Amino acid sequence: MAKTQYFTATTIDGFIADEHNSLDWLFEVDDKAGENPFASFFEGVGAFAMGATTYEWVLAHENALENPSSWLEPYGDTPAWIFTHRELPVVPGADLHFVRGDVRPVHAEMTAAAAGKNIWLVGGGELVAQFADHGLLDEVILGVAPVTLGAGAPVLPRRITSSRFALTSTRQVGQFAYLTYDLRPPV
């Protein structure tokens, strides 16, 4: 059965980006394992969503407007939904849907587009938390990096108690500890 998954890297102290929305900390981690867990994860993805800040970071970091292959190589023609309240530039050749508002109808669109494959919630944490609030998040996969930031964007800026989480997998890949949790809907 298809799942809605939050697959993200995080610091030991629970941040997905620093206070300037930078991921520089992530690229400083020595990862000589040779294995790329994201590549095998993304094979099962049929649609994905991200917030405007994440999208803008990808545009800037990957120079995706001038070099569309930097978007198309990892994501191909997999449709993406970008949650935003403003006009944003479009990566040429990418299947992008700019949306706003309630995540529930968008989740239904994504589920139809995914055609039996999984939905990946890229981030940020506030957007993912909205899916969790409505019981639309099935699994959380955290790649924990040996870094602390002290401040920044939290993994999930909500109180979600342990009664909703069930640890299903742990593994080490280089310097990263991957933790996978099933997430039960709120009661």
List of domains in the chain: 4-9+20-176 (3.40.430.10)
pLDDT at 31 over 90: no
pLDDT at 32 over 80: no
Give Dmax over CA atoms of the chain in angstroms.
46
Phi, psi of 157, deg, nearest 5: -85, 50
β partners of residue 6: 121, 140
Report pLDDT digits (tens) over 36-68.
899 999 999 999 999 999 999 999 999 999 999
pLDDT class for 147, splitting at 50, 70, 90?
Answer: very high
pLDDT confidence of residue 152: 97
Report pLDDT digits (tens) over 10-26.
999 999 999 999 999 99
Which pTM was predicted?
A: 0.94
Report pLDDT digits (tens) over 73-131.
999 999 999 999 999 999 999 999 999 999 999 999 999 999 999 999 999 999 999 99
Cis amide prior to 46 (ω within 30 degrees): no
In this structure, are residues 138 and 183 in contact, taking their beta carbons and an 8 Å threshold?
yes
Q: Is residue 86 exposed (0-12), middle (13-18) or buried (19+ Cβ within 10 Å)? A: exposed
| Cα 92 off chain centre by | 22
